[in-house]
Amino acid sequence: MKKTVKIEGLDCPNCARTLQNEINKIDCVNKAEINFLKSKLSFESEDIEKATKEIVDLTKKIEPNAIILIDKNKERKNGLILDLIFLIIGTIFGLIALLVNLPTFAFWMFFVASALFLGYKTYIKAILLLFKGVINENLLITISIIGATALKEHMEALMVVFLYTLGKIFEKMAVDKSRKSIENLTNLQPEYAVILNNGEETKVSPNDVEIGSIIVVKPGERVPIDGIVIEGNATLNVQSLTGESMPLSIVEDEKILSGAIVLDGVLRIRTTEEYKNSTVSKIMNLIENAQDKKSKTETFISRITHWYTLGIIVIAIITLGIGWAISRNFEASIYRALKLLVISCPCAFAISVPLSYFSGLGNASKNGILIKGSNYLDALSKINTIAFDKTGTLTTGEFQVEKVESLSENYSEKDIIYLASLGEQYSLHPLAKSIVKANTKELEQIKNVKEVAGEGVYFKYNESDYFVGRKNKKNNLAVEIYEDNVLIGKIYLNDTIKSSAFKACQHLKKMGVKMLLISGDNKSKVEAVGKEIGIDECYFELLPQDKFNLLQKCKKSKKNFLAYVGDGINDAPSLMIADVGISMGINGSPASIEASDVVLGDDNIEKIPHAIKISKFTKKIVWENIILSAVVKVAFLVLSLVDVASMMLAVFADVGVTLVAVLNSLRALYYNPKKINLYKK
């Protein structure tokens, strides 16, 4: 069995990683994972109750300030306010100890009280983890404070713990800000659905609503399940789904997505999906699981942190030994080694890299782009070739009457549409619906209607026999009308190109991305669409296996980093073989959404260049943080070794670069791809 609980009070990714490793050592726990940025702990066990108890007990020992919320309704602790209070008290005691001329006993009383209030969390963690054989930055800071105190550098000792704790508070505020952004997205989940049954309205769980049920949504309420509006019209807030702030109007017979908020009007909706398959549920699942798949950079930083910290302690000891051997000044050598410990603290790397990716994922989600992990966010930045499916991806999949041809002097074009609509009014075929929609006359009810799959509709009207369908298979978008076996007219239909397809392809071309159109449709249709929107290469009359083989051939070239965009169940193999698979969130089949790495929440492919821009910006932020942290630390390390930088300056360097990196990471959350020049590579 698997269980997921909320865990509060973890200060840093290293703390989360260490706790996760220790939980996995519990005998009755098969697998445990902590998502630091979402404050969630998931674990598997054959005895969930026993595992939960042992995990709670272990957490209290290793992370005394962390709390596992078994009861979802339990009030959360506000650790940030408590930290600020302790910081203020510790600072006041420290100022008294350092600035007031006190007797020795009073000085030490205020000094120790100040050090404890400022850094009690750090010391406790360092000791508890050391007994577990774990060494991290808490031990580095603790050793530095003890060492500085032993050398009678009291001000520097307090400054180390003060600045470190202050930095941790700022880090927590930044992480909370990013978490809140994601929580706003996960608030899409509806609490209830109002179902209409025999004229009575009843509140039920969205999970209990069956397909075909009638639900009522009033102003201020969130649409709980996908459906078709059967009564009423309203204005919707769909920003949480599409990223667009402009309200959307909806009327009867239009499709409505779960997660939208009704601003005015009352809607009656016939549900077309179960809650688990509705748009809001898909989005929730994608967001919840996005952070589980990490990029190579993030994984690398995570793996080296433990060995990095241990290595720094070893280097500090070697530095102490060499310094004492050369200078014979033990105090100066210890002081130099302590500065090295402070400067080399890995906090800047450990917090800024995952926070950058988390911010990038949050930004994409706000814009209606659901990316299933930071590894795919990373991969988007490398795309130089995109292959598109046609129907439902570049085109709407909704057919329109393009031309009507009458082949009989007895009938006008309107008569041909009317006669065809008489038979097609009973059909569920997409072409039939498009023909009926084009008719302007009121349809009569007819009898003796027979629909033959793959052929068309046979019916009798005014003593004549009619057939509406396709006997000529060469043009699969030309519907023929026969009267007593005589061809009297043709109706030509066309699948319209999405307006977003023109803009998307224009942007991608300017970004230097090569575009392919691969479709099962005939040559003339595929090439016409490709030419109209500016596709580089077109491939036609391909079966799903042919598409798969073509993409496999494209991938063999090391120059190609390939994305595939599709929406149907037949696109699933192609989505899986591509370096990045992109599917449609509204009209995409469950198989294509499952197989893809990126889901466009509102089927708007103009968001593909947006996704690439967010990816490139996030990756740039990640490397800015890594390079900045490394350069600053190396520079101050050199300065400390030649006795130019003091302990106070060393801690300023460590905390300062961490704060800068954290604030820089948040830029990925607020980056707006729509305001950036997409024509610039």
Q: Output the domain CATH number for residue 245.
A: 2.70.150.10
- Greater pLDDT, 660 or 471: 660
Range of the domain at 13: 2-77
Q: Is residue 87 part of a domain?
A: no
Q: Is residue 374 part of a domain?
A: yes
**Biggest alpha carbon distance in the chain?**
118
For the record, the structure tokens of 274 come out as 């179960």
What is residue 679's predicted lDDT score, i.e. its pLDDT?
A: 40
What's 409's domain CATH number?
Answer: 3.40.1110.10
- Greater pLDDT, 568 or 208: 208
Mean pLDDT computed over 221-233: 90
pLDDT higher than 70, residue 240: no
What is residue 465's predicted lDDT score, i.e. its pLDDT?
A: 92
What is residue 651's predicted lDDT score, i.e. its pLDDT?
A: 72
pLDDT higher than 80, residue 76: no
Residue 389 annotated as catalytic: yes
Angle CA 559–562–566, to nearest 5: 160
Considering the domain architecture, whether residues 467 and 583 belong to the same structural domain is answered as no
Q: Is residue 8 part of a domain?
A: yes
Secondary structure (DSSP) of 346-386: THHHHHHHHHHHHHHHHHHHHTTEEES-HHHHHHHTT--EE
Per-residue pLDDT band at 666 (split at 50, 70, 90): confident
Q: Is residue 89 part of a domain?
A: no
What is residue 152's predicted lDDT score, i.e. its pLDDT?
A: 83
Considering the domain architecture, whether residues 469 and 432 belong to the same structural domain is answered as yes
**Which of 613, 629, 663 marks a domain boundary?**
613
What's 387's domain CATH number?
Answer: 3.40.50.1000
- Greater pLDDT, 591 or 561: 561
pLDDT higher than 50, residue 680: no
Quote the percentage of the chain above a pLDDT of 90: 21
Considering the domain architecture, whether residues 470 and 588 belong to the same structural domain is answered as no
What is residue 122's predicted lDDT score, i.e. its pLDDT?
A: 85
pLDDT higher than 60, residue 250: yes
Per-residue pLDDT band at 293 (split at 50, 70, 90): low
Considering the domain architecture, whether residues 477 and 526 belong to the same structural domain is answered as no
Q: Is residue 419 part of a domain?
A: yes
**HSE-CB for 122 with a 13 A CA cutoff:** 27
What is residue 27's predicted lDDT score, i.e. its pLDDT?
A: 87
Question: Of these residues, 389, 597, 602, 603, which one is catalytic?
Answer: 389
Using only the alpha carbons of the chain, give its radius of gyration: 32
Mean pLDDT computed over 617-633: 89
Give 3-state DSSP helix, strand, coil % of the chain, rounded to 5: 50, 20, 30
Considering the domain architecture, whether residues 486 and 541 belong to the same structural domain is answered as no
Considering the domain architecture, whether residues 256 and 272 belong to the same structural domain is answered as yes
Ranked by mean pLDDT, which of 12-26, 33-47, 412-426, 515-529 comes out on top?
A: 412-426
Q: Is residue 186 part of a domain?
A: no
Per-residue pLDDT band at 301 (split at 50, 70, 90): low
What is residue 414's predicted lDDT score, i.e. its pLDDT?
A: 92
Per-residue pLDDT band at 74 (split at 50, 70, 90): very low
Strands 580-584 vs 598-600: parallel, antiparallel or unpaired: parallel
Per-residue pLDDT band at 37 (split at 50, 70, 90): low
What is residue 77's predicted lDDT score, i.e. its pLDDT?
A: 47
Which residues pair with residue 495 across a beta bridge? 399
What is residue 213's predicted lDDT score, i.e. its pLDDT?
A: 92
For the record, the structure tokens of 51 come out as 């595992």
Considering the domain architecture, whether residues 487 and 559 belong to the same structural domain is answered as no
Considering the domain architecture, whether residues 507 and 605 belong to the same structural domain is answered as yes
pLDDT higher than 90, residue 312: no
What is residue 73's predicted lDDT score, i.e. its pLDDT?
A: 42
Closest CA to 116 of 73, 158, 155, 77: 158
**Which of 472, 496, 520 marks a domain boundary?**
496
**Listing from the earlier edge strand, what are the strands of the sheet with 456-461?**
395-406, 486-497, 478-483, 464-469, 456-461, 450-452
Considering the domain architecture, whether residues 378 and 510 belong to the same structural domain is answered as yes
Q: Is residue 534 part of a domain?
A: yes
What's 29's domain CATH number?
Answer: 3.30.70.100
Mean pLDDT computed over 18-26: 85
**Weakest mean pLDDT among 100-114, 281-295, 387-401, 548-562:** 281-295
Considering the domain architecture, whether residues 492 and 427 belong to the same structural domain is answered as yes
Q: Structure pTM?
A: 0.68
**Which of 613, 632, 650 marks a domain boundary?**
613
**Number of separate domains in the chain:** 4
Considering the domain architecture, whether residues 544 and 454 belong to the same structural domain is answered as no
pLDDT higher than 70, residue 473: no
Q: Is residue 170 part of a domain?
A: no
Which pLDDT tens digit goes with each residue over 317-341?
Answer: 887 888 888 878 888 888 788 877 7
Per-residue pLDDT band at 97 (split at 50, 70, 90): very high
pLDDT higher than 60, residue 146: yes
**Weakest mean pLDDT among 31-40, 406-415, 515-524, 579-588:** 31-40
Considering the domain architecture, whether residues 381 and 453 belong to the same structural domain is answered as no
CA distance 148 to 213: 71
